[in-house]
Amino acid sequence: MREIVHLQAGQCGNQIGAKFWEVISDEHGIDPTGTYHGDSDLQLDRINVYYNEASGGKYVPRAILVDLEPGTMDSVRSGPFGQIFRPDNFVFVEREITGRRATTQRELSWWTLSWMW
């Protein structure tokens, strides 16, 4: 089986990525909450390429969304499919006097704590 991690970076990348997830979710019969409402077994055939199946039968995009400021993340999160993403997949990189540090928009996760450069 093939699995893809989708990386969206910057304002343009996140806007295009948000539209990508709307289209691919529609193709696979996934609604904005991550629930499958399709009408064909073919839609579920390769769904694990882009999605992880979470508890309760919900499908979550395998994606990391990165930007230099949280504003773009807020617009993606408030968009039609914004609630389909895991909260700790939203990452913004802020520039500090001492260098760069990766943090999530609202809280630190294990992934962002380990991603320091």
Taking only the tens place, the pLDDT of each residue in 78-105 is 999 999 999 889 987 765 545 555 544 4
- The residues, ordered by sequence, that sit 6+ positions from 23 with a Cβ below 8 Å of its Cβ are none
* Domain CATH code at residue 14: 3.40.50.1440
**Exposed, middle or buried by CB within 10 Å (0-12, 13-18, 19+), for 96?**
exposed
Domains: count for the chain = 1
pLDDT of residue 97: 45
Domain span at 88: 6-114
Share of the chain above pLDDT 70, in %: 79
Residue 103's nearest CA partner among 117, 83, 82 is: 117
**Looking at the domain assignment, is residue 1 inside a domain?**
no
